Protein backbone atom coordinates (compact mmCIF):
# COMPACT_ATOMS: atom_id res chain seq x y z
CA UNK A 1 0.00 0.00 0.00
CA UNK A 2 2.78 2.42 0.94
CA UNK A 3 6.00 2.11 -1.03
CA UNK A 4 9.17 4.03 -0.33
CA UNK A 5 11.86 3.44 -2.95
CA UNK A 6 15.42 4.71 -2.87
CA UNK A 7 14.40 7.77 -0.88
CA UNK A 8 17.17 10.30 -0.44
CA UNK A 9 16.91 13.74 1.11
CA UNK A 10 19.67 16.29 1.10
CA UNK A 11 19.16 19.66 2.76
CA UNK A 12 21.10 22.19 0.73
CA UNK A 13 21.97 25.11 3.00
CA UNK A 14 24.03 28.17 2.16
CA UNK A 15 26.88 26.95 4.33
CA UNK A 16 26.16 23.31 4.86
CA UNK A 17 24.87 20.36 2.89
CA UNK A 18 23.19 17.75 5.09
CA UNK A 19 22.38 14.36 3.66
CA UNK A 20 19.70 13.45 6.19
CA UNK A 21 18.46 10.33 4.44
CA UNK A 22 20.61 8.38 2.02
CA UNK A 23 18.69 5.46 0.60
CA UNK A 24 15.51 4.17 2.18
CA UNK A 25 13.46 1.39 0.69
CA UNK A 26 10.56 -0.33 2.43
CA UNK A 27 6.86 -0.99 1.99
CA UNK A 28 3.86 -1.30 4.25
CA UNK A 29 0.98 -3.67 3.66
CA UNK A 30 -2.54 -2.33 4.02
CA UNK A 31 -3.61 -2.63 7.64
CA UNK A 32 -0.11 -3.15 8.98
CA UNK A 33 1.30 -1.54 12.11
CA UNK A 34 5.00 -0.92 11.54
CA UNK A 35 7.38 0.92 13.82
CA UNK A 36 10.40 2.75 12.59
CA UNK A 37 13.14 3.15 15.14
CA UNK A 38 16.43 4.97 14.86
CA UNK A 39 18.73 7.25 16.83
CA UNK A 40 17.98 10.96 17.22
CA UNK A 41 18.97 12.97 14.19
CA UNK A 42 18.94 9.98 11.85
CA UNK A 43 16.28 11.48 9.62
CA UNK A 44 13.04 10.01 10.98
CA UNK A 45 11.12 13.27 10.78
CA UNK A 46 12.60 13.97 7.36
CA UNK A 47 11.37 10.59 6.16
CA UNK A 48 7.93 11.18 7.64
CA UNK A 49 7.63 14.57 5.95
CA UNK A 50 8.56 13.00 2.61
CA UNK A 51 6.00 10.22 3.12
CA UNK A 52 3.34 12.79 4.07
CA UNK A 53 4.07 14.82 0.94
CA UNK A 54 5.18 17.82 2.99
CA UNK A 55 8.76 17.70 1.71
CA UNK A 56 10.03 16.74 -1.75
CA UNK A 57 12.69 14.01 -1.76
CA UNK A 58 16.01 14.74 -3.47
CA UNK A 59 15.74 11.42 -5.23
CA UNK A 60 13.67 8.28 -5.01
CA UNK A 61 9.93 8.23 -4.53
CA UNK A 62 7.00 7.53 -2.29
CA UNK A 63 3.89 5.81 -3.62
CA UNK A 64 0.56 5.39 -1.92
CA UNK A 65 -1.72 2.78 -3.51
CA UNK A 66 0.43 2.94 -6.62
CA UNK A 67 0.21 6.72 -6.97
CA UNK A 68 3.26 8.93 -6.50
CA UNK A 69 2.97 11.21 -3.48
CA UNK A 70 3.76 14.79 -4.51
CA UNK A 71 1.70 16.66 -1.94
CA UNK A 72 -0.33 15.73 1.15
CA UNK A 73 -2.39 12.77 -0.09
CA UNK A 74 -6.05 12.44 0.88
CA UNK A 75 -6.57 9.67 3.37
CA UNK A 76 -3.36 10.28 5.27
CA UNK A 77 -3.24 11.74 8.78
CA UNK A 78 -0.18 12.76 10.76
CA UNK A 79 0.35 13.07 14.51
CA UNK A 80 3.43 15.11 15.32
CA UNK A 81 5.56 15.13 18.42
CA UNK A 82 4.79 18.70 19.37
CA UNK A 83 1.14 18.48 20.33
CA UNK A 84 1.51 21.90 21.94
CA UNK A 85 1.96 23.38 18.50
CA UNK A 86 -0.38 21.11 16.60
CA UNK A 87 -3.58 22.19 18.37
CA UNK A 88 -5.13 25.62 17.94
CA UNK A 89 -5.11 27.36 21.31
CA UNK A 90 -8.17 29.49 20.53
CA UNK A 91 -10.33 26.50 19.61
CA UNK A 92 -11.82 24.11 22.08
CA UNK A 93 -11.23 20.37 21.86
CA UNK A 94 -14.35 19.73 19.80
CA UNK A 95 -13.49 22.40 17.23
CA UNK A 96 -9.88 21.23 16.98
CA UNK A 97 -11.00 17.71 16.14
CA UNK A 98 -13.70 18.91 13.76
CA UNK A 99 -11.50 21.26 11.75
CA UNK A 100 -10.11 18.78 9.17
CA UNK A 101 -13.63 17.40 8.67
CA UNK A 102 -14.88 20.86 7.76
CA UNK A 103 -12.17 20.97 5.13
CA UNK A 104 -13.48 17.65 3.83
CA UNK A 105 -16.85 19.39 3.31
CA UNK A 106 -18.69 16.80 5.30
CA UNK A 107 -22.30 17.29 6.47
CA UNK A 108 -22.60 18.64 9.99
CA UNK A 109 -24.40 15.63 11.46
CA UNK A 110 -21.73 13.23 10.19
CA UNK A 111 -18.98 15.51 11.51
CA UNK A 112 -20.57 15.55 14.93
CA UNK A 113 -20.80 11.78 14.97
CA UNK A 114 -17.14 11.33 14.01
CA UNK A 115 -15.90 13.88 16.55
CA UNK A 116 -17.96 12.29 19.32
CA UNK A 117 -16.74 8.80 18.47
CA UNK A 118 -13.10 9.82 18.19
CA UNK A 119 -13.10 11.72 21.48
CA UNK A 120 -14.84 8.83 23.20
CA UNK A 121 -12.27 6.42 21.75
CA UNK A 122 -9.39 8.38 23.29
CA UNK A 123 -11.17 8.74 26.63
CA UNK A 124 -12.05 12.43 26.30
CA UNK A 125 -15.82 12.22 26.00
CA UNK A 126 -16.15 14.82 28.76
CA UNK A 127 -13.64 17.31 27.45
CA UNK A 128 -15.37 18.70 24.35
CA UNK A 129 -15.56 22.25 25.64
CA UNK A 130 -12.09 22.44 27.17
CA UNK A 131 -9.30 24.45 25.57
CA UNK A 132 -5.93 22.85 24.91
CA UNK A 133 -4.19 24.94 27.56
CA UNK A 134 -6.56 23.54 30.18
CA UNK A 135 -5.38 20.00 29.47
CA UNK A 136 -2.30 18.01 30.49
CA UNK A 137 0.27 17.07 27.87
CA UNK A 138 -1.07 13.54 27.63
CA UNK A 139 -4.62 14.80 27.14
CA UNK A 140 -3.50 17.25 24.46
CA UNK A 141 -1.84 14.40 22.62
CA UNK A 142 -5.07 12.42 22.91
CA UNK A 143 -6.84 15.31 21.21
CA UNK A 144 -4.29 15.22 18.39
CA UNK A 145 -4.84 11.46 18.05
CA UNK A 146 -8.62 11.94 18.08
CA UNK A 147 -8.32 14.53 15.34
CA UNK A 148 -6.31 12.11 13.21
CA UNK A 149 -8.74 9.25 13.89
CA UNK A 150 -11.90 11.30 13.20
CA UNK A 151 -10.50 12.07 9.77
CA UNK A 152 -10.86 8.34 9.00
CA UNK A 153 -7.44 8.01 7.42
CA UNK A 154 -6.33 4.93 5.55
CA UNK A 155 -2.76 5.67 6.67
CA UNK A 156 -1.79 7.12 10.01
CA UNK A 157 1.73 8.50 10.44
CA UNK A 158 2.99 9.21 13.92
CA UNK A 159 6.25 10.97 14.66
CA UNK A 160 7.42 10.26 18.22
CA UNK A 161 3.97 11.15 19.46
CA UNK A 162 4.60 10.19 23.09
CA UNK A 163 8.13 11.50 23.53
CA UNK A 164 7.02 14.36 25.77
CA UNK A 165 4.52 12.64 28.07
CA UNK A 166 5.17 10.91 31.39
CA UNK A 167 5.74 7.15 31.53
CA UNK A 168 2.30 6.16 32.81
CA UNK A 169 0.47 8.25 30.22
CA UNK A 170 2.78 6.92 27.59
CA UNK A 171 1.91 3.34 28.43
CA UNK A 172 -1.80 4.21 28.25
CA UNK A 173 -1.38 5.92 24.90
CA UNK A 174 0.56 2.95 23.51
CA UNK A 175 -2.32 0.68 24.40
CA UNK A 176 -4.73 3.21 22.92
CA UNK A 177 -2.88 3.06 19.60
CA UNK A 178 -3.02 -0.75 19.45
CA UNK A 179 -6.67 -0.57 20.38
CA UNK A 180 -7.54 1.95 17.69
CA UNK A 181 -5.50 0.04 15.16
CA UNK A 182 -7.42 -3.15 15.96
CA UNK A 183 -10.75 -1.36 15.67
CA UNK A 184 -10.08 0.75 12.61
CA UNK A 185 -7.77 -1.53 10.62
CA UNK A 186 -5.82 1.53 9.56
CA UNK A 187 -2.25 1.25 8.26
CA UNK A 188 0.08 2.77 10.84
CA UNK A 189 3.66 3.94 10.50
CA UNK A 190 4.83 4.76 14.01
CA UNK A 191 8.15 6.53 14.38
CA UNK A 192 10.04 6.45 17.65
CA UNK A 193 13.53 6.54 19.09
CA UNK A 194 12.35 4.29 21.92
CA UNK A 195 13.30 0.66 21.32
CA UNK A 196 10.91 -0.85 23.87
CA UNK A 197 8.06 1.16 22.46
CA UNK A 198 8.82 0.01 18.92
CA UNK A 199 8.93 -3.66 19.93
CA UNK A 200 5.84 -3.37 22.14
CA UNK A 201 3.71 -1.70 19.47
CA UNK A 202 4.79 -3.09 16.14
CA UNK A 203 4.06 -6.13 14.03
CA UNK A 204 7.30 -5.20 12.37
CA UNK A 205 10.17 -2.93 13.35
CA UNK A 206 12.26 -1.15 10.75
CA UNK A 207 15.62 -0.25 12.20
CA UNK A 208 17.28 2.80 10.72
CA UNK A 209 21.00 3.44 10.74
CA UNK A 210 22.49 6.75 11.85
CA UNK A 211 22.56 9.60 9.33
CA UNK A 212 23.02 9.35 6.33
CA UNK A 213 20.25 6.91 6.83
CA UNK A 214 19.44 3.51 5.37
CA UNK A 215 17.10 0.77 6.56
CA UNK A 216 19.45 -1.41 8.53
CA UNK A 217 17.09 -4.24 9.28
CA UNK A 218 13.42 -5.21 9.12
CA UNK A 219 12.44 -7.31 12.05
CA UNK A 220 9.19 -9.25 12.42
CA UNK A 221 7.82 -8.95 15.95
CA UNK A 222 6.49 -12.42 16.61
CA UNK A 223 4.82 -11.56 19.91
CA UNK A 224 1.16 -12.48 20.43
CA UNK A 225 -1.32 -9.99 18.99
CA UNK A 226 -2.88 -9.44 22.41
CA UNK A 227 -0.33 -7.29 24.19
CA UNK A 228 -0.37 -5.76 27.58
CA UNK A 229 2.12 -3.68 29.46
CA UNK A 230 2.85 -6.27 32.14
CA UNK A 231 2.87 -9.66 30.46
CA UNK A 232 4.25 -8.59 27.09
CA UNK A 233 7.13 -6.65 28.58
CA UNK A 234 7.93 -9.57 30.89
CA UNK A 235 7.90 -12.07 28.01
CA UNK A 236 11.42 -13.46 27.39
CA UNK A 237 10.77 -13.08 23.66
CA UNK A 238 10.14 -9.36 24.20
CA UNK A 239 13.46 -9.08 26.01
CA UNK A 240 15.38 -10.87 23.30
CA UNK A 241 13.78 -8.76 20.55
CA UNK A 242 14.55 -5.51 22.34
CA UNK A 243 18.12 -6.63 22.96
CA UNK A 244 18.52 -7.40 19.30
CA UNK A 245 17.18 -3.99 18.24
CA UNK A 246 19.39 -2.31 20.82
CA UNK A 247 22.48 -4.06 19.47
CA UNK A 248 21.61 -3.13 15.92
CA UNK A 249 21.24 0.52 16.86
CA UNK A 250 24.52 0.48 18.76
CA UNK A 251 26.17 -1.03 15.69
CA UNK A 252 24.53 1.64 13.55
CA UNK A 253 25.96 4.37 15.76
CA UNK A 254 29.44 2.88 15.52
CA UNK A 255 29.10 2.78 11.76
CA UNK A 256 27.77 6.33 11.60
CA UNK A 257 28.74 8.22 8.50
CA UNK A 258 29.61 5.17 6.42
CA UNK A 259 27.11 3.77 3.99
CA UNK A 260 25.91 0.34 4.89
CA UNK A 261 27.60 -1.54 2.05
CA UNK A 262 30.94 -0.09 3.04
CA UNK A 263 30.45 -0.34 6.78
CA UNK A 264 33.57 -1.62 8.48
CA UNK A 265 33.41 -4.86 10.37
CA UNK A 266 32.55 -4.15 14.00
CA UNK A 267 35.63 -5.01 16.04
CA UNK A 268 35.66 -8.48 17.46
CA UNK A 269 32.29 -9.74 16.30
CA UNK A 270 30.62 -10.80 13.14
CA UNK A 271 27.13 -11.10 14.46
CA UNK A 272 26.62 -7.43 15.28
CA UNK A 273 27.09 -6.57 11.64
CA UNK A 274 24.03 -5.02 10.05
CA UNK A 275 22.22 -7.61 8.05
CA UNK A 276 19.19 -6.84 5.92
CA UNK A 277 15.94 -8.70 6.37
CA UNK A 278 17.29 -10.83 9.13
CA UNK A 279 14.95 -12.13 11.75
CA UNK A 280 16.77 -13.50 14.75
CA UNK A 281 16.08 -17.08 15.72
Site residues (CB under 6 A) for ligand ADP? 11, 13, 18, 20, 38, 40-46, 211
Give least dist CB 166 to ligand ADP, A: 21
Region 25-44 residues binding Mg ion, contact defined as CB under 5 A: 44
Cα dihedral 235, 241, 247, 250, rounded to 10, equals -100
Nearer to ligand ADP, 92 or 248 (CB): 248
* Least separation in angstroms between CB 24 and ligand ADP: 12
Bond prior to 212 in cis (omega within 30° of 0)? yes
Report strand pairing: 2-12 vs 59-64.
antiparallel
Binding of Mg ion by 45 (CB under 5 A): yes
Report in angstroms how near the CB of residue 85 gets to ligand ADP at its nearest: 15
Count CA atoms within 13 Å of residue 231 on its CB side: 6
Query: What does the alpha-carbon distance between residue 64 and residue 39 come to, in Å, rounded to a whole number?
Result: 26
Give the nearest distance from C-beta 198 to ligand ADP in angstroms.
13
Between 46 and 92, name the residue whose CB sits nearer to ligand ADP. Answer: 46
CA angle, corner 62, sides to 158 and 157, nearest 5? 10
C-alpha 219: how far from its chain's center?
16
Query: Least CB distance from residue 274 to ligand ADP, whole Å?
Result: 18
Nearest distance, CB of residue 81 and Mg ion, angstroms:
7
Residue with Cβ nearer ligand ADP (75 or 84): 84
In the complex with ligand ADP, which residue's Cβ is closer, 40 or 168?
Answer: 40
**Partner from ligand ADP, Mg ion, none binding residue 212, C-beta < 5-8 Å depending on class:** none
User: E strand or H helix at 187, and its extent?
Assistant: strand 187-192
Phi, psi of 275 (to 5 degrees): -145, 120
Say how far residue 158 (Cα) sits from the centre of its chain.
4
Residue 83 near residue 146 (C-beta atoms within 8 A)? no
Closest-approach residue to Mg ion (CB): 45
| Residue 211 binding partner per list Mg ion, ligand ADP, none, with a CB distance cut-off of 5 to 8 Å that depends on partner kind | ligand ADP
Shortest distance, position 80 Cβ to ligand ADP, whole Å: 11
Q: Which does 18 bind (CB under 5 to 8 A by kind): ligand ADP, Mg ion, none?
A: ligand ADP
Name which of 127 and 206 has its Cβ closer to ligand ADP: 206
Cβ-based nearer residue to Mg ion, 77 or 124: 77
Q: How far apart are CA 255 and CA 263, in angstroms?
A: 6
Q: Smaller CB distance to Mg ion: residue 147 or 193?
A: 193
Of 45-53, 103-111, 180-188, 212-220, the window that binds Mg ion (rule: CB under 5 A) is: 45-53
How far from chain centre, in Å, is Cα 103?
24
Q: In angstroms, rounded to a whole number, what is the distance separating the alpha carbons of residues 256 and 162? A: 26
41 binds, among Mg ion, ligand ADP, none (CB under 5 to 8 A by kind): ligand ADP
Which H or E element spans position 42? Answer: none
Backbone angles phi, psi at 239, to 5 degrees: -60, -40
Point out which residues bind Mg ion (CB under 5 A): 44-45
Amino acid sequence: MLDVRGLQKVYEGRERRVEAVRDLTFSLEAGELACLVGPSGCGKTTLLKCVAGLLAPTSGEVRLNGRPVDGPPPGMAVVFQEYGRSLFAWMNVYDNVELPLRQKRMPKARRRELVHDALAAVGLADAHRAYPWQLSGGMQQRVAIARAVAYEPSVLLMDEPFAAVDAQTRADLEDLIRDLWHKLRVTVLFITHDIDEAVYLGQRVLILSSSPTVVQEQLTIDLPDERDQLTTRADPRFTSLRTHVYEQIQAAKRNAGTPQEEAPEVAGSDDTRPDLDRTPA
